[in-house]
Amino acid sequence: KVVCGDKVCWQAGSDGTATVISIRERRNALERWQAHGHNEVLAANLSCVGVVVAPVPAPDWFVVDRFLCAAAVMSATGVVIANKTDLGDSLEPVLDEYRRIGYTVVQVCAVTGAGMDTLKDVFRDQTGILVGQSGVGKSSLINRLIPDADADTAGLTRKHAEGTHTTTASVMHRIPGSGRLIDSPGVRDFLPAIAAGASIQSGFPEIDAASAGCRFTDCRHLREPGCAVKAAVEHGRISARRYESYKRLLRTVAEHWSD
C-alpha cells in the first residue's frame, strides 16, 4: 500500500491520470500497532518527526515519549513543538525536562506567528511529519508555514477540551525555501510498531546513556541488580515520569510479541 512519503515509479495515462507501477524500498517508516495486531504505516522515508503539544488539550506526555522513541528507532530526529504559547507557560517544566535530555524544543503560536521562522529552520532540507493529539494545532501550523496549504482546522469540543479530527489522511506539503512536511491525523493514543529485538532504550537517550554503568550488558532496568538507570532515577538524574514511560512501553511491546 502506498503511503505518504513513499517514492514510487509511475506511468502517465492518456487521460491525464497516473498509475503507480512500483514502490521503491523505504528507508524507514513510522508505524503503529492497531487492534488485532495489525500495523498501520503513517508515513515513510522521514528524517524528522515533530511532536506537537499545547496547553489545551492537556498533553499526554506518554504519547509524546512514544513518538520520540519511534523517531529514534527509525533513525529520524525527534523534535518537541509547543504550540499555543499565547495560552501561557504551563508546559515549561516538562519542556525543560526534554531540553535537558537534549531534544530540540520549539515554542510557537499558530495564531500570532511567533516562532514560525525557527520552526521553518527545523524542517529545512528535511522530510518531516507533524504528529500529536487532536486539537493541538498541527493543521494551523501547516497553514502558517504554507499559506496556500488550505489545511482544515477546527476548535476544541467544549465538554472535555478535546480536539476533533480535521485531518483525515496524511498530506505532504512543500515549505517554501525549506523542506517537505506531512500533516497527519490527530491521535488519542499511539503505540509504535517496534520490531522484536529493537532497542527501546535507544528511544530514551538519558536511559541509554546511563545504561553504560549497569552491571549487566543486557540489563532491562527493571529489577536487575546493579542497575545504573534505577540509581539515576532514585537520585533525580533521570525523570521518574520518563522512567515510568520507558517501563510502560517496554512492557507493552513485550506483551505484543508474546501473544
Q: Where are the beta strands (DSSP E) in the chain?
A: 8-12, 18-23, 29-33, 39-44, 48-53, 77-82, 104-107, 127-132, 156-157, 162-163, 171-174, 180-183
- Name the band, by pLDDT with cuts 50, 70 and 90, for residue 197: low
Rounded CA separation 6/18 (Å): 15
What is the pLDDT, as a whole number, of residue 170? 87
Rounded CA separation 185/168 (Å): 5
Read off the pLDDT of residues 82-105 as tens digits, 9 standing for 90 and up.
999 999 999 999 999 999 999 999
| DSSP conformation class of 65 | H
* Burial class of residue 77 (count of CB atoms within 10 Å of its CB; 0-12, 13-18, 19+): middle
3-class SS of residue 19? strand
- Name the band, by pLDDT with cuts 50, 70 and 90, for residue 192: very high
Read off the pLDDT of residues 141-181 as tens digits, 9 standing for 90 and up.
999 999 887 755 544 444 444 444 454 578 999 988 889 99
Per-chain mean pLDDT for the chain? 90
Alpha helical stretches, state H, the chain: 61-73, 92-101, 116-122, 138-145, 205-210, 228-234, 240-258
Q: Which CATH architecture has domain 28-183?
A: 3-Layer(aba) Sandwich (3.40)
What is the pLDDT, as a whole number, of residue 164? 43
- CATH classification of 200-258 is 3.40.50.150, yes or no? no
**Domains in the chain: boundaries:** 28-183, 200-258
What's the whole-model pTM score? 0.89
Domains 28-183 and 200-258 fall in the same CATH topology: no
Amino acid identity at 139: S
